[in-house]
């Protein structure tokens, strides 16, 4: 069985490959793709028996693929969405796995596909509409790598994300930090804007991590984070009002 993986997180790629290799020796991973554009290019000239497809990709969401071509290959979606989104998947008869991927649920999803050859009769536009409908489902946890194991951190335990030396780090409220396989721009769209704000180009902080805010030169604001952030965090003049509204709980 030929399998295509569409996933832009390196850690998630590695974990999925490991689980597939361990549990499904009959599967041959023909390609691992990390973007909408590359997926469209590949699918125009190639085929597979099953696709494991993440929703959030490096250049958009995977549903954009279906705007460019008709995909008849069965798909098991991989998602960080929860709550309302699960109902959307189930109503549309779509195979899905939540991140971080649970081995037994992966086995069950593939078993369901092999027995029934399902995951092909869904209405993609309807599914997308349901996922985008009010309810605003945002990430509730994020995958991290601990040695050779894949684990996760609950979003409620995150103080802030920041960029350093072209890597994105997650700082937990307890002071532990981890590298995450997301760009800061991608994270911004995946986090609840009521709880997280992009303070600077390289830092997104949770409301609970704001320790102190003070006026600064040239009508800017200086923010002190907890746990302490080594770099100076300054809110630019053009973002001051937006930041104040966010602190005040205004949308």
Report whether pLDDT(225) > 70.
yes
Q: How far apart, in whole angstroms, are the C-alpha atoms of residue 239 and residue 198?
A: 10
Q: What is the mean pLDDT of residues 157-165?
A: 96
What pLDDT, on a 0 to 100 scale, did the predictor assign at position 59? 80
Segment 111-147, tens digit of pLDDT: 888 876 655 555 565 666 655 553 446 788 888 888 7
Q: What's the whole-model pTM score?
A: 0.55
| Structural domain boundaries in the chain | 2-132, 141-247
Residue 214 binned pLDDT confidence (cut-offs 50, 70, 90): very high
CATH topology for 2-132 is: Rossmann fold (3.40.50)
Contacts of 223 (CB under 8 A, 6+ apart): 199, 205, 210, 212, 213, 233, 234, 235
CATH topology for 141-247 is: OB fold (Dihydrolipoamide Acetyltransferase, E2P) (2.40.50)
3-class SS of residue 134: coil
DSSP state for residue 63 in the 8-state scheme: G
Q: Quick one: which of 101, 99, 77, 97 has its CA closest to 22? A: 101
- Kindly report the average pLDDT of the chain as a whole number: 85
Contacts of 141 (CB under 8 A, 6+ apart): 80, 99, 100, 152, 153, 154, 155
- Residues 99-116 as b/e (b if ≥16 CB within 10 A, e otherwise) read bbbeeeebeebbeebeee
Q: What is the mean pLDDT of residues 11-35?
A: 93
* Chain position carrying tokens 């780090």: 169
Which residues sit opposite 50 in a β-bridge? Answer: 3
């Amino acid at each position: 069985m030929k399998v295509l993986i569409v996933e832009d997180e390196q850690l998630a790629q590695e974990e999925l490959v490991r689980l597939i290799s361990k549990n499904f020796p009959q599967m041959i991973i023909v390609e691992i793709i990390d973007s909408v554009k590359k997926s469209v290019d590949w699918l125009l000239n190639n085929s597979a028996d099953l696709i494991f497809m993440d929703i959030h990709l490096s250049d958009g969401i995977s549903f954009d693929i279906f705007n460019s071509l008709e995909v008849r290959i069965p798909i098991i979606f991989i998602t960080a969405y929860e709550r309302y989104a699960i109902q959307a998947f189930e109503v549309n008869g779509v195979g899905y796995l939540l991140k971080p991927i649970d081995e037994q649920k992966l086995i069950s999803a593939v078993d369901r596909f092999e027995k029934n050859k399902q995951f092909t009769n869904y209405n993609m536009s309807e599914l997308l509409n349901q996922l985008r409908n009010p309810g605003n489902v945002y990430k509730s946890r994020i995958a991290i790598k601990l040695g050779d194991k894949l684990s996760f951190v609950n979003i409620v335990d995150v103080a802030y994300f920041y960029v350093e030396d072209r890597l994105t780090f997650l700082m937990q409220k307890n002071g532990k930090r981890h590298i995450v396989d997301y760009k800061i721009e991608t994270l911004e769209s995946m986090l609840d804007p009521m709880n997280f704000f992009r303070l600077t180009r390289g830092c997104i902080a949770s409301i609970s991590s704001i320790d102190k805010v003070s006026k600064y030169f040239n009508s800017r604001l200086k923010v002190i984070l907890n746990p302490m952030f080594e770099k100076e965090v300054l809110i630019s003049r053009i973002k001051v009002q937006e930041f104040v509204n966010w602190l005040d709980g205004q949308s």
